Amino acid sequence: MRTERPRLALVVLALALLSGCGANDDEDPKVPKTATGSLEQLAEQVTCDPNVQTDAQELRQANCETGDGRYVLTTFATDRGLREWINEANDYGGSYLVGRKWVVSGDAKVVATLRGKLGGTVETAPEHHVGTDGGGGDGGGGDHSGHPEKG
């Protein structure tokens, strides 16, 4: 019996080590390193011809429509500007692919697909309907892209 305990302890230890090898891996091997660059450089990486809607000092925003779907690509002058935008956008719900000084907002499926090209982190906020006046809260249920208007 004495020789079985050390063996059993070694087997349990080996299994614990083997099962732990990869359990803490935060990196998905299919997700590239997070992209960086200007709005145009990021758009080029996802083969988007950006339709720039906002061109301000603090942010630039463009609509994109590619084979992946429709989405909005936004770049920011500062990390703080990005975080403030995300905090405000979370009030509207939606899916966001977030990189350093950029965000893509769109349908969850589109965001997931673009993550395979741009890297980044997916942030999802629950859908909210603003207002209780019976009007649906979103001004008629139009095409809400999940991003607040800025600029």
Q: What is the pLDDT of residues 11-64, one digit of tens each?
A: 433 333 333 433 333 456 688 999 999 999 999 999 999 999 999 999 999 999
Compute the distance between CA of residue 148 and CA of residue 87 in angstroms, rounded to an integer. Answer: 10
User: Cα dihedral sign for 52, 141, 111, 77?
Assistant: positive
List, in order, residues 6 or more apart from 50 with CB less than 8 Å away.
39, 40, 43, 62, 63, 64, 73
Query: What's this model's pTM, rounded to 2 decimal places?
Result: 0.67
